[in-house]
């Protein structure tokens, strides 16, 4: 009751001073967003929301292989550095994304020629050069991203093909380069896919048994309003049971997953989305604080979502801010829900 009164008092105080109460100030864990440096520079409202609403930052794309290591002997940290410098200037944590992925790989890596030893040296150099560059500036890394298929098998990739045990080696290399960074395995779609989830749990168990440094699991949480609550909760419970830190790392909640041209973002869809946001935040708050790394939204406003760009789904509204970067009803409902938990 005391905590509830304190929270209400803070909200009332902010309102009386003409200030909006911020969600990040009501939760006891970092609240983040993935950011695009071009949007930070070109859209004042985007930048204002990013500064005011979040205390953790992930580079949406500009630390990925294709952009940061475009040529065999050339790294380009310029855009990633813009994100880091923005975060430092505004006193925000930085989470690195991602060191090893099967996607967004530069052409020269795809065409690389050599034996297993040469492939290993190439990937090790990439992982360690990037991790060393951001050492002391990045709190954690998604070391390996999306390595398992829905059936639990290892995803076919140039890394799986050419480097035996590449997941374990990548974690070891990252730790050597930056011993202070919190290291994550990051993946999506585990809910309703028990074989995929079990493969991830088996990987964690194996790495731990070999004293390979893995510290956390990133649950991307690219979900939709039809995602089943019990399946989401089961995945979260299984992840927490590993004892690792848990990051809801790429959160968005799609409202039009079938990409229906006639879709209307009406009150029914909004209420379903609000219910999912409330479920995830409530469940996350129940995770032991020592395992809470934070919740990160995958961008800021609805117009910036990758669902509209990459998937070409123009009638998607998956985030907490609308096309004009105004708070949606889901934001206010989360504030109300959280004050009852604190």
Which positions are annotated as active-site residues? 146, 250
Q: Is 20 helix (H, G, I), strand (E, B) or coil?
A: coil
Q: Residues, the chain, total?
A: 342
Tokens of 338: 């959280």
H or E, element range at 211: none
Residue 291 token pair: 């395992």
What is the C-alpha to C-alpha distance for residues 306 and 39, in angstroms, rounded to an integer?
13
Any idea which residue has 């050599």 for tokens? Answer: 114
- Within 8 A by CB and 6+ apart from 255, the residues are 224, 225, 263, 265, 269, 270, 272, 273, 316, 317, 318
Between CA 313 and CA 318, with CA 315 as vertex, the angle to 5 degrees is 90
Angle at 317 between CA 240 and CA 102, to 5 degrees: 55
**What is the DSSP secondary-structure string of 254-303?**
ES-TT--TT----HHHHHHHHHHHHHHHHHHHTS-GGGEEEEEESSSBGG
E-strand stretches of 16-106: 31-35, 56-59, 93-101
The pair of structure tokens assigned to 185 is: 């395995």
219 and 190 Cβ atoms separated by less than 8 Å:
yes
- Beta strands per DSSP E along the chain: 31-35, 56-59, 93-101, 140-145, 182-187, 216-219, 222-224, 245-254, 292-297
């Amino acid at each position: 009751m005391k905590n509830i009164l304190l929270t209400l008092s803070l909200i009332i105080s902010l309102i009386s001073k003409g200030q909006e109460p911020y969600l990040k100030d009501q939760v006891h864990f970092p609240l983040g967003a993935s950011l695009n440096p071009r949007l930070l520079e070109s859209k004042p409202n985007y930048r204002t929301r990013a500064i005011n609403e979040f205390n953790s930052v992930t580079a949406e794309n500009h630390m990925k292989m294709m952009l940061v290591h475009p040529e065999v002997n050339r790294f380009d940290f310029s855009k990633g550095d813009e994100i880091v410098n923005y975060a430092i200037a505004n006193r925000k944590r930085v989470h690195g994304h991602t060191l090893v992925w099967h996607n967004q790989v530069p052409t020269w890596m795809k065409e690389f020629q050599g034996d297993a030893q040469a492939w290993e040296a190439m990937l090790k150099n990439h992982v360690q050069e990037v991790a060393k560059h951001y050492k002391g500036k990045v709190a954690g890394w998604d070391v390996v991203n999306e390595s398992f298929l829905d059936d639990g098998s290892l995803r076919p990739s140039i890394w799986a093909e050419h480097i035996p045990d590449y997941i374990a080696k990548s974690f070891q290399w990252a730790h050597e380069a930056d011993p202070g960074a919190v290291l994550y395995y990051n993946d999506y779609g585990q809910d309703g896919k028990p074989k995929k989830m079990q493969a991830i749990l088996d990987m964690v168990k194996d790495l731990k048994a070999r004293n390979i440094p893995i510290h956390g699991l990133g649950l991307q949480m690219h979900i939709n309003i039809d995602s089943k609550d019990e399946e989401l909760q089961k995945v979260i419970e299984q992840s927490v049971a590993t004892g690792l830190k848990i990051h809801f790392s790429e959160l968005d909640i799609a409202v039009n997953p079938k990409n229906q041209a006639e879709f209307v973002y009406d009150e029914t869809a909004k209420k379903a989305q609000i219910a999912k946001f409330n479920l995830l935040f409530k469940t996350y708050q129940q995770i032991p604080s020592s395992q809470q790394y934070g919740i990160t939204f995958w961008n800021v406003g609805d117009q910036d979502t990758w669902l509209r760009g990459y998937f070409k789904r123009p009638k998607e509204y998956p985030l907490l801010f609308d096309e004009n970067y105004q708070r949606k009803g889901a934001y206010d409902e989360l504030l109300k829900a959280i004050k009852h938990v604190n």
